């Protein structure tokens, strides 16, 4: 079936910034699909948002499992016939270690979700996004992935990321992925951007950030609903572009 109402898929949306992004998009009248690998948590998040009158539904989705990703794409195709917005939000982080003490296996584990997972989901959803009149892809990145910041010894981000090799480099890689997809899809009118929500208090950082998840979701929603004159191939925060 097809529907005139916009449909958005958000990965890792059962909590934190992903759930708040879902809440904000649903408040705009968009049907939101909460992708989560844990069915109990995914259903609970969808039920919570539906209590506010939102059209929110749970979709089983483990971004590190190709079969799960393909099954989610088939479900969206059968139910809605297309996808208008994709927010690649699912991410993990590991304990803090110096780069010289970080084994490759730890980096590989983080990349499976933060980079390869985003690529797998985007690849599977592209046929559905191409059926939309104004598709948008938003990759949840971070200023911690800015090579400009990392290369500046006077930057606070440079010092902070000294023990975050897996996470910060995974976001640098995701930024590059964003640019390449944006370049390919620009002519089709599909806008692809990476966003930095800022240092938000979430499970990812043991709720140590000064910003709320609600505040962090704002920039993702802005790019997910950008008009045809919106940017593409950029990394942005609420305050504007961030250097690569």
Active-site annotation holder among 15, 111, 167, 181: 167
Contact 241, 199 (CB under 8 A): no
List of residues 6+ apart from 146 with CB closer than 8 A: 157, 172, 175, 235, 242, 243, 244
List of residues 6+ apart from 61 with CB closer than 8 A: 9, 11, 35, 36, 37, 68, 69, 72, 121
Active-site annotation holder among 6, 15, 19, 171: 171
194 burial type by CB count under 10 A (0-12 exposed, 13-18 middle, 19+ buried): buried
- Is the sign of the CA dihedral 241, 23, 171, 206 positive or negative? positive
List of residues 6+ apart from 201 with CB closer than 8 A: 207, 208, 209, 210, 211, 212, 213
Contact 27, 104 (CB under 8 A): no
The closest of 223, 79, 86, 242 to 149, measured between CA atoms, is 242
Based on the residue annotation, tell me whether 15 is a catalytic residue of this protein: no
Based on the residue annotation, tell me whether 199 is a catalytic residue of this protein: no
Structure tokens given for 52: 């506010």
Contact 197, 217 (CB under 8 A): yes
Structure tokens given for 225: 């609903």
Q: Which residues pair with 59 in a beta bridge?
A: 35
Known catalytic residues are 167, 171
């Amino acid at each position: 079936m097809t529907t005139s109402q916009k449909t958005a898929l958000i990965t890792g949306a059962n909590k934190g910034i992903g759930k708040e992004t879902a809440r904000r998009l649903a408040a705009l009248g968009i049907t939101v699909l909460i992708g989560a690998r844990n069915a109990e948590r995914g259903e609970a998040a969808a039920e919570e948002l539906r209590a506010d009158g939102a059209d929110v539904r749970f979709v089983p989705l483990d971004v590190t499992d190709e079969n799960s990703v393909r099954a989610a794409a088939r479900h969206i195709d059968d139910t809605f016939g297309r996808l208008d917005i994709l927010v690649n939000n699912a991410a993990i982080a590991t304990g803090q270690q110096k780069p010289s003490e970080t084994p490759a296996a730890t980096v590989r584990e983080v990349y499976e979700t933060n980079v390869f997972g985003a690529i797998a989901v985007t690849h599977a959803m592209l046929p559905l996004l191409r059926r939309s009149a104004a598709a948008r892809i938003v990759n949840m990145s971070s200023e911690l992935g800015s090579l400009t910041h990392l290369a500046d010894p006077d930057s606070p981000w440079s010092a902070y990321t000294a023990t975050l090799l897996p996470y910060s480099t995974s976001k640098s890689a995701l930024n590059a992925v964003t640019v390449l997809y944006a370049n390919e899809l620009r002519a089709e009118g599909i806008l692809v951007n990476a966003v930095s929500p800022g240092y938000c208090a979430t499970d990812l950082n043991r709720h140590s950030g000064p910003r709320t998840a609600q505040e962090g979701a704002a920039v993702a929603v802005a790019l997910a609903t950008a008009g045809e004159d919106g940017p593409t191939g950029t990394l942005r925060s609420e305050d504007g572009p961030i250097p690569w």
